[in-house]
């Protein structure tokens, strides 16, 4: 596998280098053509630009002036994942002058169902380089800038200050607060979006700069850390993320085309601000718009009395601490838990017992330990009737609980004890530490794991 991974990385690297050479060739050919015609040419755009962007320039209320604004714009996309890929593709296609991408991750197979700028052949490659390889094939005539690092308080000023407009295509509250704070301090409009499972939302912030609300105005307090569930755990439909990324690009193009990148002057407000909410399920996809309150007078970042500065951002703001860190679940004592190895020995001895798998049914349906009974943790939390547990209570032997990584299983085991399934301590009720992930690693590597 190491040799295969190495060869894949080498192929991806050389594909990127080839795409770069093709891009340089296309630009050189374009420059050569325009040089021959330079004495006679009297139009503000080059011939190849009229060919490439003509279909959007003839749209009513768009025109040449909007295209010139796009050509002179510098746009930063933070995150080259599910949102960033379609957003960057449509911005590149529209002809922004400079397009920057920020991301430190590498392409994984699990990304490909929604991160459409990447490919199977570029698995293991930097997401930024992979995306730029794709974008250069789409439009080699604009400038791409790669930032192969995570945006942080230490580099935010240096990166964001190079651009006129920012798109937040990240997937965690810590990143969203950081991007918003940097945009407030550097007076950059921000187009922020998120997507999860079958829904998404879109907000345009700090627009016009110095007037519109920031992310902290809309969400002054971060969500509880235990409520933040990633795509790996909760899942996401690829087209949902794609819709939101395309809408981000659309809002960015509208801002640029209308000349909305300049900082606001005078006393006029920012006008009505709205949040767009998208739902993919039901009888059909639906959108609804919710009115958003303006700037908060007590906002930490953008109010008149705000103490936030660029120096403060770089040296003093701890976004991880602000958003909180979900503490490891520890509701069972060590003696109430068993290891995967111990459970293997129990199965080998054919000891009578009950195994409850508390993952949601969608996870369970993809693969499970033979003999497991599926009782999702959500049913425990809702207090639903669970006839499977009644059946388990009537059997002899201990009850073992398993989940994805060993967190929900502890919670479920504790609830079972509280409901009296341990017969006052006479019957063992506990969980398998490490969950399905540990089982897959130590016992059955063929078991699918998400």
DSSP, collapsed to helix, strand or coil, labels residue 254 as helix
The reply, when asked if residue 175 is annotated as ligand binding, is: no
DSSP, collapsed to helix, strand or coil, labels residue 120 as helix
The reply, when asked if residue 111 is annotated as ligand binding, is: yes
The reply, when asked if residue 5 is annotated as ligand binding, is: no
The reply, when asked if residue 409 is annotated as ligand binding, is: no
* Through-space distance between the first and last CA atoms of the chain, rounded to whole angstroms: 20
The reply, when asked if residue 302 is annotated as ligand binding, is: yes
The reply, when asked if residue 85 is annotated as ligand binding, is: no
Hey, how many other C-beta atoms are within 10 angstroms of the C-beta on 19?
Answer: 18
Q: Which residues contact 352 (CB under 8 A, 6 or more apart)?
A: 395, 396, 397
The reply, when asked if residue 13 is annotated as ligand binding, is: no
Closest of 348, 253, 249, 243 to residue 286, by C-alpha: 243
Beta strand extents in 148-299 (DSSP E only):
165-168, 190-196, 199-205, 273-279, 286-292
Task: Please give the C-alpha separations between residue 436 and each of 326, 372, 442, 450, in angstroms, as whole numbers.
Answer: 20, 11, 10, 10
With tokens 């509280």, the residue in question is: 418
Closest of 385, 409, 407, 384 to residue 399, by C-alpha: 409
The reply, when asked if residue 217 is annotated as ligand binding, is: yes
Task: Give the integer Cα–Cα distance in Å for 336 and 334.
Answer: 5
Task: Give the integer Cα–Cα distance in Å for 57 and 69.
Answer: 12
The reply, when asked if residue 214 is annotated as ligand binding, is: yes
For the annotated catalytic residues, the residue numbers are 231, 403
Burial (CB count within 10 angstroms: exposed 0-12, middle 13-18, buried 19+), residue 362:
exposed
The reply, when asked if residue 299 is annotated as ligand binding, is: yes
The reply, when asked if residue 172 is annotated as ligand binding, is: yes
Task: Give the integer Cα–Cα distance in Å for 217 and 298.
Answer: 9
Strand 286-292 versus strand 337-338 pairing type: unpaired
The reply, when asked if residue 353 is annotated as ligand binding, is: no
Task: Give the integer Cα–Cα distance in Å for 241 and 174.
Answer: 20
Hey, how many other C-beta atoms are within 10 angstroms of the C-beta on 324?
Answer: 15
Q: Which residues contact 234 (CB under 8 A, 6 or more apart)?
A: 196, 197
Task: Give the integer Cα–Cα distance in Å for 185 and 154.
Answer: 14
The reply, when asked if residue 112 is annotated as ligand binding, is: yes
The reply, when asked if residue 154 is annotated as ligand binding, is: no
Task: Give the integer Cα–Cα distance in Å for 101 and 81.
Answer: 10
CA angle 173, 406, 334 (to 5 degrees): 120
| Residues of each annotated binding site | 82, 103, 110-114, 127, 171-172, 214, 217, 299, 302
| Residues of each annotated binding site for Zn(2+) | 214, 217, 299, 302
| Residues of each annotated binding site for ATP | 82, 103, 110-114, 127, 171-172
């Amino acid at each position: 596998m190491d040799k295969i991974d190495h060869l894949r990385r080498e192929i991806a690297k050389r594909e990127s280098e080839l795409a770069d050479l093709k891009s340089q060739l296309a630009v050189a050919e374009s420059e050569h053509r325009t040089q021959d015609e330079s004495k006679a040419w009297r139009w503000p755009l080059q011939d190849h630009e009229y060919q490439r962007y003509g279909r959007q320039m003839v749209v009513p209320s768009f025109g040449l002036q909007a295209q010139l604004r796009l050509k002179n714009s510098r746009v930063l996309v933070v995150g080259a994942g599910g949102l960033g890929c379609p957003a960057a593709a449509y911005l590149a296609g529209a002809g922004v002058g400079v397009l920057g991408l920020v991301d430190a991750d590498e392409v994984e197979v699990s990304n490909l169902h929604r991160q459409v700028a990447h490919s199977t052949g570029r698995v293991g490659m930097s997401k930024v380089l992979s995306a730029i390889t794709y974008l250069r094939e789409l439009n080699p005539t604009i400038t791409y800038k790669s930032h192969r690092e995570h945006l942080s308080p230490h580099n935010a000023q240096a990166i964001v200050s190079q651009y006129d407009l920012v798109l937040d295509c990240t997937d965690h509250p810590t990143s969203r607060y950081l991007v918003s704070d940097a945009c407030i301090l550097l007076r950059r409009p921000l187009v922020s979006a998120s997507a999860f499972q079958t829904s998404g939302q879109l907000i345009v912030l700090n627009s016009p700069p110095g007037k519109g609300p920031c992310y902290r105005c809309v969400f002054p307090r971060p969500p509880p850390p235990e409520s933040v569930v990633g795509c790996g755990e909760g899942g996401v439909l690829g087209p949902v993320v794609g819709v939101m990324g395309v809408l981000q690009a659309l809002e960015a193009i509208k801002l640029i085309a209308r000349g909305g990148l300049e900082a606001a002057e005078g006393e006029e407000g920012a006008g009505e601000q709205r949040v767009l909410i998208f739902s993919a399920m039901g009888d059909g996809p639906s959108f609804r718009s919710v009115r958003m309150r303006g700037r908060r007078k007590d906002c930490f970042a953008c109010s008149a009395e705000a103490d936030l500065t660029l120096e403060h951002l770089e040296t003093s703001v701890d976004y991880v601490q602000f958003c909180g860190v979900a503490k490891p679940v520890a509701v069972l004592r060590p003696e109430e838990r068993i290891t995967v190895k111990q459970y293997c020995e129990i199965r080998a001895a054919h000891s009578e017992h009950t195994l409850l798998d508390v993952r949601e049914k969608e996870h369970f349906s993809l693969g499970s330990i033979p003999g497991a009974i599926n009782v999702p943790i959500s049913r425990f939390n809702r207090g639903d009737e669970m006839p499977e547990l009644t059946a388990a209570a009537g059997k002899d032997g201990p009850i073992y609980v398993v989940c994805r990584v060993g967190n929900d299983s502890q919670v479920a085991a504790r609830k079972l004890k509280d409901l009296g399934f341990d017969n006052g301590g006479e019957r063992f009720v506990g969980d398998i530490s490490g969950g399905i992930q540990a089982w897959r690693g130590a016992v059955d590597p063929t078991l699918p794991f998400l």
